[in-house]
């Protein structure tokens, strides 16, 4: 594997960064996770736009233009012969002094990794996930806004630890007011009849690329799509619940906190949207040539 670091493609074993990089020392940086399908970098422009919005929010001056960033991603995929995989695009604050002052970091670092994707096991797509609500709440938007896809993922990791300790692979996170925020790495949807509901950004929710795509696809298919506050009660009594994310795509949830959701099996709306999303994501993006 070759890793892109600041304009150069470097063999994996030689791909290193300084111990004084503020991305390592303080989680100071932003990232995107991007999929490739059959030689297409899926929804790449949307991911790059969000990366730049995250950087703007933390006052990180990007060292490349959007066009140059897109070219670098494609170049890295081409060098690794990536056709179906996962890209991790990272921009750190760069090397600086010990201490929190970000303005002592003179040059941000751009790192691009193109590798295989680790999906949930197939059985979870066929049978559905069981998840639990965890006590770790989602970051408050007045602290580290969840709309910023930053390198500091400790909030999510703590929730993931609690899920694993409870014997499941995913956790449902609430915000400080007790409303549904999201899962540790995915957005949450509830289906009742012909209506799809997902929490709005103001509820400490990342505006996921897959989330937005599914909302668009669902609206085009005649579903009523709403962004609204939700409680656990709303999920417990939904016909279907599913999660969306770049890695997860669309995955059904069949049990939450030991409550069976709907029939207890992946529902028809979830299955329909999962199929349509994969077709959509595999046809929209930038070709690797």
Please tell me the distance from the alpha carbon of residue 170 to that of residue 152, in angstroms, as a whole number.
19
Judge if 141 and 257 occupy the same domain. Answer: yes
Tell me what pLDDT residue 286 has: 97
Same domain, 6 and 111: yes
Report the distance separating Cα 223 and Cα 109, nearest Å: 43
Is residue 288 in some structural domain? no
Domain count along the chain: 2
Average pLDDT rounded to a whole number, residues 112-138: 93
pLDDT exceeds cutoff 90 at 231: yes
pTM of the model: 0.95
Residues 49/62, Cβ–Cβ less than 8 Å: no
Instruction: Provide the domain limits for residue 22.
Output: 2-115
The answer to whether position 224 is within a domain reads yes
Q: What is the CATH number of the domain that holds 66?
A: 3.30.470.10
Do 157 and 276 sit in the same domain of this protein?
yes
Q: In this model, does residue 82 exceed pLDDT 80?
A: yes
Domain boundary residue among 92, 115, 138?
A: 115
Query: Is the model's pLDDT at 119 over the cut of 80?
Result: no
Within a 10 A sphere around the Cβ of 222, how many other Cβ atoms? Answer: 7
Q: What is the dihedral of CA 212, 217, 219, 225, to 10 degrees?
A: -40
Task: For residues 245-269, give the mean pLDDT.
Answer: 97
Out of 123, 149, 216, 265, the active site residue is: 149
Q: Mean pLDDT, to the nearest integer, of 232-244?
A: 98
Q: How confident is the model at residue 201 (pLDDT cuts 50, 70, 90)?
A: confident
Give yes or no: 216 in active site. no
Residues 150 and 265 in one domain: yes
Last residue of a domain, one of 115, 150, 174: 115
Same-domain pairing of 111 and 171: no
Q: How confident is the model at residue 155 (pLDDT cuts 50, 70, 90)?
A: very high
Average pLDDT over residues 25-29: 97
Question: Do residues 36 and 93 both lie within one domain?
Answer: yes
Q: Is 149 found in the same domain as 42?
A: no
pLDDT at 163: 98
H/E run at residue 215:
helix 209-220
Residues 178, 267, single domain; the answer is yes
Is residue 149 domain-shared with residue 193, that is, in the same domain? yes
Residue range 177-196, pLDDT digits in tens: 999 999 999 999 999 999 99
In a domain, 216, yes or no: yes
* Residue at 289 is within a domain: no
């Amino acid at each position: 594997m070759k890793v892109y670091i600041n304009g150069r493609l470097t063999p994996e074993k030689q791909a290193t960064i300084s111990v004084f990089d503020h991305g390592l020392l303080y989680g100071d940086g932003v990232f995107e996770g991007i999929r490739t399908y059959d030689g297409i970098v899926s929804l790449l422009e949307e991911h790059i736009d969000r990366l730049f919005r995250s950087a703007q929010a933390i006052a990180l001056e990007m060292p490349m233009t959007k066009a140059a960033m897109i070219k670098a991603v494609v170049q890295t995929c081409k060098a690794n012969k990536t056709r179906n995989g996962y890209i991790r695009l990272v921009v750190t604050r760069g090397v600086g002094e010990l201490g929190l002052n970000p303005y002592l970091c003179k040059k941000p670092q751009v790192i691009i990794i193109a590798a295989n994707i680790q999906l949930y096991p197939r059985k979870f797509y066929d049978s559905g996930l069981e998840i639990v609500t965890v006590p770790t709440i989602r970051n408050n938007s007045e602290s580290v806004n969840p709309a910023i896809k930053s390198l500091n993922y400790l909030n999510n990791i703590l929730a993931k630890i609690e899920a694993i300790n409870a014997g499941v692979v995913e956790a449902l996170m609430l915000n400080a007011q007790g409303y549904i925020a999201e899962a540790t790495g995915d957005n949450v949807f509830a289906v009742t009849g012909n209506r799809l509901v997902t929490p709005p950004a103001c509820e400490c929710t990342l505006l996921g690329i897959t989330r937005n795509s599914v909302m668009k696809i669902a609206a085009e298919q005649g579903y009523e799509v709403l962004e609204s506050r939700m409680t656990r009660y709303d999920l417990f009594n939904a016909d279907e619940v599913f999660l969306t994310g770049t890695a997860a795509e669309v995955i059904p949830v069949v049990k939450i906190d030991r409550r069976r959701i709907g029939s207890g099996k992946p529902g028809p709306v979830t299955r329909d949207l999962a199929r349509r999303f994969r077709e959509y994501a595999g046809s929209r993006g930038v070709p690797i040539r």
